[in-house]
Amino acid sequence: MKAGSPWRKSPPHSSGVVSRLTALFVGCTGPMGALFTPCQAGAPPLSVRRGGSPRAAGGSSGFTLIELLMVVAIIGIITAIAAPGLMRARISANEISAMNSLRAINSAQATFAASCGSGFYAPSLAVLATPPTVGGGDGFIGTDLASDPSMKSSYSVELTAGAPAPGAPASCNGVPAGGVVSTYFVGASPAGGGGVRFFGTNQGGTIYQSTAAVAVTQNGAPAGSTPIQ
């Protein structure tokens, strides 16, 4: 090259300077110290999200704080909308379960009277759950209603026995003579907000409902209640 020419040969270290500047302004993935060394072959450059932090090009974008807050807000709105409906559905399911429990007890009492109690009824749920002493087998009611009272599906189910039947023989499952009864009443009351209706039934087989506790009534309809079947 002629002397005085405006073009000068680049110094030997110029290529290294260019590489360092390229790494500084474009960036390479890796530790911060890598910004001051030439990018390795195949290393993806860094890009910066608008309002975010640097990330590797083509990599996972992640979430900003605003996006996360929006997701939390949406979840809160959906929960607020769905919660009342879920609560109503749970209460309705509990009430249906309580009515089914009363139906099961009425059916068990009818079976007990016909096959074990000589026409009379069991004085308690525990007696209904007791199998016959001769021949064994199962009781007349399931184990989920075998105690007095029984708690099932957020309802307390309790049997109130009527007057003992004088002269009645002993039952097939161990109730002594005169221990069975001629009438009974079963009430179901919600516990802990598990329902809004109260239920009751007796040997007549009709289930009654009320917004307050159904009065114990051995015969006929309890006062202040309405039949539902």
The predicted model scores a pTM of 0.67
Contact in structure between 153 and 97 (CB atoms under 8 Å): yes
In what helix (H) or strand (E) does residue 159 lie, and over which residues does it extend?
strand 155-161
Quick one: pLDDT at residue 87? 86
**pLDDT bracket for residue 59 (50, 70, 90):** low
More confident residue, 130 or 1: 130
> In the structure, what pLDDT confidence band is assigned to residue 200 with cuts at 50, 70 and 90?
very high
Total of domains in the chain: 2
C-alpha distances (whole Å) from 80 to each of 71, 75, 84, 86, 171 are 14, 9, 8, 11, 55
Asked if residue 12 has pLDDT above 80, the reply is: no
User: Is residue 109 situated within a structural domain?
Assistant: yes
CA–CA separation, 149 and 105 (whole Å): 13
How high is the pLDDT of residue 85?
82
Please tell me whether residues 42 and 83 are part of one structural domain.
no
pLDDT 10s digits, 132-157: 998 778 999 999 999 999 999 999 99
Domain extent for 86? 70-227
pLDDT attached to residue 8: 47
Of 140, 154, 31, residue with least CA distance to 96:
154
Q: Do 213 and 104 share a domain, yes or no? A: yes
Look at the alpha carbons of 205, 210, 216, 219 in this order and tell me if their dihedral is positive or negative.
negative
Closest CA to 177 of 164, 158, 191, 189: 164
Look at residue 92 in the predicted model and tell me its pLDDT.
94
Q: Do the domain assignments include residue 165?
A: yes
Say yes or no: 74 and 150 in one domain: yes
Q: Is the pLDDT of residue 25 over 50?
A: no
Arithmetic mean of pLDDT over the chain: 81
Instruction: Indicate if the pLDDT at residue 215 is higher than 90.
Output: yes
What digits encode the pLDDT tens for the residues 91-141? 999 999 999 999 999 999 999 999 999 999 999 999 999 999 987 789 999
Query: Does residue 105 lie within any of the structural domains?
Result: yes
39 and 91 share one domain: no
Q: Are residues 130 and 186 in the same domain?
A: yes
Is 6 part of any domain? no
If asked whether residues 42 and 90 sit together in one domain, one would say no
Q: Does 38 have pLDDT greater than 90? A: no
Share of the chain above pLDDT 90, in %: 62
